[in-house]
Structure 1
């Protein structure tokens, strides 16, 4: 019984540590790779709109897991910044399609490139043994995330 309790405590500790590390890593990435000081919801919308043909407001809201009304202020703010645009749907002129502008595409590319540079610089500082540990840890994370 005590062995099972110890296992449960170890699992609980790992769950908490994993949560903390993921949260910290995301926070660091947001700090290191700022994009026009955009909110995470704005950054997420830009990522979702990086598809051929764009998305309607309803499709975007569904992809983000929010109601279309909730999406309207995020869309309006990105449109005001010149990062997204509205256009009639070529297949159905009654619908409006949201897509990235050239500035939006450039911002997305810059953000992705900055993430790569930052992660590369962090990993480069690890010893070869630490990189092997990281590789094994990523394999495990990949396995549990499937």
Structure 2
């Protein structure tokens, strides 16, 4: 069967079970890693303060911490945010003095966004909360041997992420 596109044309249903690799073991590994990373990411995000900044705000603060000052356009591209969404985020974090905005010396029409000490404190608190939960989950769930394997897996996942 198919589905109707926005233009009214019949489109085939996507095959969500389509193989991603000729090697079935590799395809299964990719699926399991994706599922595990997704579930862990969801669980860690749930550790945030529900009255605090949302995931998009935390992503922007994290980007500014890791990579330094950005223009709003660079931030939107790096975080894959729509300009309108970033405008709201920047208004929210600027109002709370989590970032500063200053004119770009190279182009006065643009602004530069930098994280403030208050922004670092918010990011640090969020990171501590997530890492505290993760350390507790690792301690209560995994054996010493499994912890060593997880340490190796974390290094491998970083390599894959940087590929």
With the shorter chain as reference, the TM-score category is: 0.7 to 0.9
Tell me the equivalent position of 1:24.
39
8 Å Cα contact 2:94/2:100 also seen in 1? yes
Provide the secondary structure at the position in 2 that maps to 1:82.
coil
Q: Which residue of 1 aligns with 2:15?
A: none
- Following the alignment from structure 1 to structure 2, what is the Cα–Cα distance between the partners of residues 51 and 8? 36
Measured after TM superposition, the shift of residue 136 of structure 1 is 4.0
Unaligned 5+ runs, structure 1: 1-6
After TM superposition, the score normalised by the length of structure 1 is 0.73
Matches within 5 A, 1:48-67: 48-50=63-65, 54-66=69-81
RMSD: 2.9
What residue number does 1:4 align with?
A: none
Q: In the alignment, which of 117, 137, 141 is matched to residue 153 of structure 2?
A: 137
Question: Where does structure 2 lack aligned partners over 5 or more consecutive residues?
Answer: 1-21
- Greater RCO between the two (CA within 8 Å, min separation 6)? 1
Cα displacement (A) at 1:134: 2.0
Matches within 5 A, 1:103-118: 103-118=118-133
How many residues in Structure 1 have an aligned counterpart in Structure 2? 140
Higher helix share: 1
Report deviation, 1:118.
2.3
TM-score, L = length of structure 2? 0.67
